[in-house]
Structure formats: structure tokens, C-alpha cells
Structure 1
């Protein structure tokens, strides 16, 4: 299973391995919050007002008990007091309503902005990043974690502050009723405060572990669903279930540990105030009996305590929610802090419409995680592909052919040397310009859950006025993908996730059509016809020659039939180009080339060689 790369929080200036504080994490969120501050402040004031209004009701009760509920008291005063309490209750409900109205929209917009911003960043990050991160981890960070952030902004952050302020205001009211009873209640905060420091560290660690495990579990589900045919074909459903069960139980254990930590803290938060209230009741009755405390003051004190019960209990849950949100934001910034090492230059070269000459000069490449001292995959590759030429790239398995092709559109960057198109280093070109100049089709095709037309026209930059249907028809005809018209909805047929409803050969032809529709100057093909029969492959190749006659093509070939249809062949060996020539020339002079060809799927016959040699001579 892929594991997340460890990144340094470069924007927060943290040392490697250092954890951001809550203040540092929230400070990084402020630029997203700032446009919505007025509405969030209005929501906070409404919530605070609702809490204050709730605390004024006990004070009305104190006045009513002290001045109305005695011999000779006025009945009208009772009705007035009841009306005041009812009005305060209505005011509290209205304030709660407006609090939700003010904060829900900003919180949802902040969540959406963060999600779009993260998706944009993921699109720009190099392929090397996606090679190491599990898709479930990225999914959980962009969906579940940001959902936590939204709920905390709309409710948790506001109510945590409001509850804290409410508790302090309530304590002040308690002290005005009786300083001794207020002091007894306040003493109960000491064990809660001490426990809170320990709870914060334990719960934060458990929250981070839980979220990471949930991401790993999501990755496991996604990989199992995508590979369900392989799992079924090899009868490994039980093994897959066992592995999933282990991860699911690990997540369960972590969630239980987190829940126990929170429940233990909540037990303390709820029980200690209740115990102090029991002690306060005994002292309060004693003070009332002595005449040092009025009945109204005693009623107000315990009514205020009843109002504070919900905020005090809620502080524990809100603190847990805040800590969970903090870890969610840390996970979000783990991704956002990953540096994009492949980007457009600050001052890109203005590209002109050239012939499409592809030049590789002393190209070297090693993956970022290659251990020190290990030989690079590519080491000093020199290759010149002439404009309009089709160059086949061959070599033994693992020689770096596919890796070399991915350097041309800068899916990876060279670690040494340079690649140029029409004499311009590709690192000096704007990425969008480069990737509209170079079109790619991979052996491992990736299609999207959309229509065939949308998949084929994905990379097409059609001139103004050109009918998309004409470009689509041409691409499908060249790729020999006319089967699309016979489907239930024709080219508008939705092909399903990753195109798995199609056969391997159909998927490859759709992917090739996508590369053709882009009308590139340089076409890079990573054996995109491996699932086709030889005749279909030859038909596709011949149509490519006529339609893209001016397109420079570099293709990885794993079959002799593909090799013989190229103008020239480059032999990749030990990280560099060992020889370049026609298929017949390399067969005649290079023993390693003969070994590579012999190891391919379809050894060529003498007639194949003669036909290839004659066709290449005619083209020359």
C-alpha cells in the first residue's frame, strides 16, 4: 500500500518533525476566512446574545421571588414576570435562528474554496507526488477533513467561544448572588482544567491517527474496487477481506480509544459541577436559614447553574471537535505545503509553430526516492527525432523506455541534460503550451466516467469555427474505433468508471483517438496498441501516417510488427541509447538488438524483414 510522503510545513516555517500549534494552524486559515468575517462576527454576536439572554432569565426569577412571591404580593407582577421570561425565551430563539443564517453560508463557501484550491493544487503537483500518496488519503483530506472544518467554522468555533464567555458571565451572576456559593462552584473548575491539558494531547494524537487510518482504509476500498476483476479471477476475495478487516479493526480500536478519552473527560466535566452544586445546595440552605441569603438569590444561583450546565458540558465536546478540526487542517496543509517542482517558468519562451524536431541531449533521470549511490534509470541519453519521423524505442523490460517518454511532456523532470522541441528547452516553455504541443497515449489507458466523445476530445484545442464532431469522427476513424457508433447511445455512450465496460483493445483505441484529436506536433506513444491484433495495428499506423504526416512520433514498441512500421529504431540499453537505425540495419549489426527482438511477443519472419526493409526504402 502506498504511504504518504513526509513534507515540511514550509509556509508555517516549522522545523522537520515539529507540530504546528493550534494558533499557527488557524492563522493559516485566516486568508480564507477574512472575506466572510462580517457575517461570522454577526453570527457570533447572535450566539453570544442568545447565551446572555438565557442567563438573564434567572435574574428575573430572583426579582420575582424576592418581590412578588410573598404575602401581599401583586398578581399583576406575576403576569409581568411571566411575560418577561416568555419574551426573553422568544428573543433567545430568534437569536439562535439568525446565528445559523449568518454562519452557514460563509462556512459552506469556505469549505468549497478550500476544496477547489486543494483540487487545483493536486492537478498541478508532479506525478511523483501521486506515485507515493494513496488516493484514499487524498480523498479523505479533500472531503471528510474539509467537512469537519466547515462544521467547526459554522458551529464549533463560535459555540466554544460563546460557551466560554457564557460560563464566565454566569459565574459573575453566581458571585452576585453569593460569593461563597460562587467560590464553591469555581473550585470545581480546578480538576477540569488539569485534566484538559492531558486530554488535549491524547485526543489530538488519537484524532490524527484515526483520520490517517480512515484515509488508508479508503485507499484499500478504492484499490479493491478497481482491481475487483483480478481479485475474483485469482480467487483472492477472502485474502482481500482479511486485509481490509485488519485495517477496519485498527480504525475501530482507534475510534474507541478516542471515544473513551472524550467520554472520560466529559464524565469529569459533567460530574464535578454537579458535585459542587450538591455541596452548594447544603451551604445555600444553611445561609438562607441564617438569613445571610434570600430565597430569590438561592433560586437565581441554581437557575443560573442550570443554564450553565449545557455550556459546561458542551465545552468538552466542542474542545474535542476543535482538536479534531486542528488535525484535519494539519492533514490538509500537509498536501498544500507539498512543493510543485514542475511548473511553468516565470518568463516562458514564446513558442512558435515549428516542425516538431525532438532533441534529447545527455538526458539523465532518477526517481526522487532512489537510494544514494544507485545508478539512475537513464544516464546520458542522446537522441534526435527528425520532424515528421516515427521513431520506435525498444529495450529489455525495465530499461526505462516508458520513463523516457514521460519526460517529454514533463510528467517528470530530467535530473540531468535537456530535452528540446525545435531547439527550445521544454523547461523554458509554459506547461500548457508544452502539453498542447506534445500529446501522449499510454499502454495503461485511463478513461473517465463520461461519454466517448468527451474522452476523445479531452485534449483537443479546436480552432474557432471547427466542428467538434468532425474532429471526433476523424480521430475515431484513424484509431479504428468505429465500434463507438454501434453502441447504444453512439459516441454519447457513458463508458463508466475508467472505461472498464469496454474491452482492453477498445479502451486503447479510444485513448489513441484522444491523442490524435489533440493535433500535436510531437506524439508520444507508450505501446498504445498492445491489445490490438497485428492487422488493426497496421491499419491504425498507416492512417496515422496520412493524417499526422507532419507529426513527430516517438513510440515504445513491444512487438516486432510495431517496430517494423517505424522509420527508425532506437535501442535503449544500460540507461543510454546504444544504437539507432532502421530495423533491418540494427538486425544486421547489433547482437543486443537481435536479442531484444527475439524476446518480443512475435518473432519476425524473413518475409516481414524484407517487407519492412522495402517499405522503409520506398519511404526514403
Structure 2
């Protein structure tokens, strides 16, 4: 419900503009009614009595009314366009900001194509309704009611014909509304699914081509497109039946008015001028009635779009920042009886009663089997997820009590699967620290052995393409590592960041990282013995808990499970030593 008020809140700053639009629209209706009445006076007066003197004043009056009506239309549309575009811009900004604030649990559940569809197609549907449908729905209803009253006043039998013709329109509109809202929502959901498939096909093009599955993926996309086509055709057929009926009713009414009006003039119940004015006013109702189908369809699409957008606004973040700030961070990290389960699987805990301490300036490597929860453990420090039990502290302060922006300046993470953005290499590097100097950028590149960035066509100002796909996996990892190092965090989290590097480059990066880690607190997810050697201590993660903590040699000698995990790398190291 609060989001519904939020939606109304977007209109509130523009109430003055909307009021001016409505007043100008109502004035336009008055003018549209006045012009046929002037025509009636012109026919029944000067023309009938062959008195040409009043013709020019009445003609100029009709012209002036027409020009004034055109000016009002221009003014209304100018004000309307500005107000509606501002509303759309504000909503787009707020929606994007809300998406950024939502936790990882939300983004892991929602398809990116669905979010993209809501942020583009649905917002455009709302803009079209606010900019056209909403106003004209009010205008057309008002115009039909006002003209009907005028027609009843002029000649009530013909007025009743017009009034009675509205009954089937109202009945059909109510029935159309119920059916259209269902099919409209279905179309919009399928558009989101299709957008997801298109995005996945574009992002995963290398995998698709490498496995020769272009035809298979294309068939999946085409099947989704055909499904959307079939549903869209159901929507078109429903609309076509409704609009056809709306076109027929006014035409039948016009024929009846002409027939009964001619009889009325012949019997002296109507003057020729009244009949002309009556028919002119009657014809002015054809567009409002015929457009009702389009406007109602637009209204239903807007309601569906609003519901889809409000689904996002109604999702509250379960990661809410506190207010505390650590003035002089030392980077003392503690996991105290930590429990964690993903929100969509609360009965399947990943971590259970986990305890771990990382002292200021110390580096701890976490080793465990695949799926043991190492990445989940690292995600708890910057609050990408929140613990479900226990707590994580930095310098004795629960991370849930820290301001989120401050926390994520204290903690920098380099992920195994790095994400780069469609911007320059420099912009990607300074994403975590916009005020970094050129010298600091160069130093971070040297630490991460990412000097290749200097050799790009335009150096660090080269745009590296969406997802950094113009670079190799190792290059992406090194740029992401340089980005994390450049942030100069109190706590540096490396989630198997060196997995895509060759042995030679890995050795160079590790040598440089030792200097960086000497000045910060480090938490490393490690799968290789060489990466483990970066750490002062090693923690073995088993069954959701830390079972052993010690240095590499000690665990290797005393813990069989640890030795088995690193057996391949240990054998390789022994071979290298003996060689």
C-alpha cells in the first residue's frame, strides 16, 4: 500500500501543471460545444432570413473560438509533455536507486530481463498513460456527458438516442477491462522472459559458439518469441472486437439522428440550424467514444505496469545500514558463532556456529571443498548477505550497525568471476575510489600485474566493452584485483582471485600482494597451495564450520582433510623443489 502512495506521490509535485491541463481541456470542451451553437445561430439567423450583415461577426466569432481552442490544445500538450517526462525521469531514477539498494538475495531470485523490462517497457507504458490516456479519459467522459446534456436540452428525443447508445458501450467496456488486464499482464511478463533470453544469448555468446549450440539457443529464443506472438495476438483479437463494436455504435447513432432529425425538421420540431448543430455535436462524440477502446487498453496496460513496478518498490531490503562509523579502522575482523542460510533455503544452513578471528594486519586463507561455503563466508563481511545467527564485527563493531557506504569503503572485494563495466579501463579501476591519483592507479596496476591496460589502443581511456569481454579471463581478474587494491581498504577480501592466471603471472602477483597485505587485513579464499602461502594463518572450513586453524605446514602435517584438498598442488611443489 505504501508503494501505491509512492506512485501518487510522483504526481503530487505536478498537481499545478495537471490542474492547468485539466482546466484548459475543460475550456476546450466548452469551446467545442460553443462553435456548433454559433453555427446554429448563423444558419437560423442571417442565412434563413437572408440578412448578410451578422454573417461576418458570427463567422469571425466562430474563427476566434477555433483559434482559441487550438491555443488551449497547444498549451495543454506543452505543459503535459514537460510534467509527464519529469515524472518518468523521477520514477526511473528512484527505481534504479531502489534496485541498487536491494540485497543480493533479491537479485539472485529475479531474472535480469524481467528487471530490464520493468525499468524500460513498463515505465514507458506509465508515461504514455500519464501523458495521453489519463487526461483524455477524463476529457472524453466529460465531453460525452456535457454534449449529451446539451443535446437533450436542444431536442430531447434525439438526445435520448445519444444517451441510450452509451449503455452498450459501458457494458462492453466493463467486460473488456476484466479480460484485457489478464492478457496484458501475460504479455508483459513474457516480454520480460524474452528480454532475459536475449540478454543471456548476448552475454554468453562465447560459450554458445564454443559448444556449437547457436541453433539450440536460437530455437529456445524463437519458441519464447512465438509464445509472446500468440499471446499478443490474443490481446489484439480482444482489442479488435472491442474497437469494432465501438466504431459501429456511434455510426448507428448518427444514422438514427439524421433520420429522426430530418423528420423533426419536416414537422417543425427542429430548425435546420438546430439539426446541423445537433449533428455537428453528435459527430464530435465519435472520437471520444471510438477512442475509448484505445484509452481503456492503455489504462489497463498502465495498471499492469504499475503493479509490476510496485512489486519492486514493495520489496524492502533486509540489509539495512546502521549509523556508526569507525573513525580509525584497524581491520580487526571476527566471526562470532555465525550461522548463515540463503533466504530461499532457510532450512539448509551453509554455515553453522562458525568462529574465526583475523587480527589487524593479518592475512587468513580459508580452504575448503567446493560448496563448503567459502564465498558465502566472504560475502558476510561487506554485508552482501546478512548472517542468520551470530555476528560479524570489524574493530568490535557489528557490521550491521555500520553505515553501509562506510562499511563498503572499509572492505574491498575481488571476486573469482570479476565484473567489469562498459566504460574505460580507468573508470573501472577507480570505481571504488574516485579520488585516486594517477600514481596510485599505476601502483595498483603494477601490484596486479595489469600493465597490459597501458598497451590498450587508447591506454587506460580505452573502453573495454560490456562485461570486459574484449579481455581474457586473466586480464579481467587482474583489473578487478587492481580495482580492489586501489581502494586501499582496511579489509581486503580475495575470493579465489588468481584462479585464471598462469603460474608465472600468479607468482608475480603474489609477490606484489605480499607487500599490499602487509598493510591491511586480508581474507583469502584459496584453492592452490601457492595462494595459501600468502597467508599468515590458514582456516579449514568443513561442514559449515572452521575445524582447524594454523599455519600451512602445521595443517599439512597434522590434518589429513587439509592435505587431501591441496594434494595436487603439494605434489607439484615437491616436484618443482626436487627439480
Global fold match (TM > 0.5): yes
CA–CA distance in structure 2, aligned partners of residues 461 and 492 of structure 1: 15
User: Taking structure 1 as reference, are residues 75 and 363 closer, same or farther at Cα in structure 2, changes over 3 Å only?
Assistant: same
Structure 1 position 53 matched with structure 2 position 15: no
Which residue is equivalent to 1:367? 342
Deviations 1:511-544 (A, max 9, x none): 0000000101111111111111223222212212
Which residue is equivalent to 1:35? 13
Deviations 1:85-110 (A, max 9, x none): 22222112111111111111111111
Which residue is equivalent to 2:2? 11
Instruction: Report deviation, 1:371.
Output: 5.9
2:514 touches 2:534 (CA, 8 Å); kept in 1?
no
Q: 2:448 pairs with 479, 491, 513, which one? A: 479
Decide which moves more: 197-206 or 601-610: 601-610
* SS of structure 1 residue aligned to 2:549: strand
CA–CA distance in structure 1, aligned partners of residues 138 and 443 of structure 2: 63
1:457 touches 1:514 (CA, 8 Å); kept in 2?
yes
Q: 2:353 pairs with 365, 376, 380, which one? A: 380
Gaps of 5+ in 2: none
Which residue is equivalent to 2:46? 68
CA–CA distance in structure 1, aligned partners of residues 578 and 382 of structure 2: 35
Which residue is equivalent to 2:112? 135
CA–CA distance in structure 1, aligned partners of residues 73 and 2 of structure 2: 37
Instruction: Report deviation, 1:116.
Output: 0.6
CA–CA distance in structure 1, aligned partners of residues 155 and 191 of structure 2: 50
CA–CA distance in structure 2, aligned partners of residues 267 and 68 of structure 1: 41
2:254 touches 2:283 (CA, 8 Å); kept in 1?
no
Q: 5 Å matches for 1:522-561?
A: 522-561=491-530
Structure 1 position 349 matched with structure 2 position 327: no
Deviations 1:207-251 (A, max 9, x none): 111111111111111111000001111111111111111111121
CA–CA distance in structure 2, aligned partners of residues 515 and 500 of structure 1: 20
Q: 2:98 pairs with 110, 114, 121, which one? A: 121
CA–CA distance in structure 2, aligned partners of residues 527 and 608 of structure 1: 23
Instruction: Report deviation, 1:607.
Output: 6.4
Which residue is equivalent to 1:152? 129
Which residue is equivalent to 1:441? 414
User: Taking structure 1 as reference, are residues 387 and 263 closer, same or farther at Cα in structure 2, changes over 3 Å only?
Assistant: same
Instruction: Report deviation, 1:475.
Output: 0.6
Which residue is equivalent to 1:172? 149
Q: 2:191 pairs with 203, 214, 231, which one? A: 214
* SS of structure 1 residue aligned to 2:538: strand
Q: 5 Å matches for 1:502-517?
A: 502-517=471-486
Which residue is equivalent to 1:518? 487
CA–CA distance in structure 1, aligned partners of residues 16 and 475 of structure 2: 55
1:66 touches 1:296 (CA, 8 Å); kept in 2?
yes
Q: 2:223 pairs with 219, 222, 246, which one? A: 246
CA–CA distance in structure 1, aligned partners of residues 258 and 85 of structure 2: 45
Q: 5 Å matches for 1:173-192?
A: 173-192=150-169
Gaps of 5+ in 1: 1-9, 13-24, 612-620
CA–CA distance in structure 2, aligned partners of residues 610 and 206 of structure 1: 72
Which residue is equivalent to 1:16? none
User: Taking structure 1 as reference, are residues 181 and 214 closer, same or farther at Cα in structure 2, changes over 3 Å only?
Assistant: same
Deviations 1:294-352 (A, max 9, x none): 2221111111011111111122211111111111111111101101100212xx33313
Q: 1:605 pairs with 560, 563, 573, which one? A: 573
Deviations 1:108-133 (A, max 9, x none): 11111111111111111101100011
* SS of structure 2 residue aligned to 1:351: coil
* SS of structure 1 residue aligned to 2:291: helix
Which residue is equivalent to 1:403? 376
Q: 1:104 pairs with 68, 81, 87, which one? A: 81
Q: TM-score, normalised by structure 2?
A: 0.97
Q: TM-score, normalised by structure 1?
A: 0.90
1:449 touches 1:499 (CA, 8 Å); kept in 2?
yes
2:325 touches 2:406 (CA, 8 Å); kept in 1?
no
How many residues matched?
Answer: 579
* SS of structure 1 residue aligned to 2:284: helix
Compute the RMSD of aligned alpha carbons. Answer: 1.8
Structure 1 position 456 matched with structure 2 position 429: yes
Structure 1 position 576 matched with structure 2 position 550: no
Instruction: Report deviation, 1:601.
Output: 6.4
Structure 1 position 426 matched with structure 2 position 409: no
Deviations 1:380-417 (A, max 9, x none): 11111222222111111111111111111100001111
* SS of structure 2 residue aligned to 1:457: helix
* SS of structure 2 residue aligned to 1:172: helix
Q: 5 Å matches for 1:196-211?
A: 196-211=173-188
User: Taking structure 1 as reference, are residues 342 and 217 closer, same or farther at Cα in structure 2, changes over 3 Å only?
Assistant: same
Decide which moves more: 305-314 or 562-571: 562-571
CA–CA distance in structure 1, aligned partners of residues 136 and 145 of structure 2: 14
Instruction: Report deviation, 1:51.
Output: 2.5
Which residue is equivalent to 1:6? none
1:177 touches 1:300 (CA, 8 Å); kept in 2?
no
2:243 touches 2:293 (CA, 8 Å); kept in 1?
yes
2:337 touches 2:391 (CA, 8 Å); kept in 1?
yes
Q: 5 Å matches for 1:264-279?
A: 264-279=241-256
Instruction: Report deviation, 1:461.
Output: 6.1
1:560 touches 1:604 (CA, 8 Å); kept in 2?
no
2:440 touches 2:486 (CA, 8 Å); kept in 1?
yes
1:206 touches 1:257 (CA, 8 Å); kept in 2?
yes
User: Taking structure 1 as reference, are residues 126 and 608 closer, same or farther at Cα in structure 2, changes over 3 Å only?
Assistant: farther
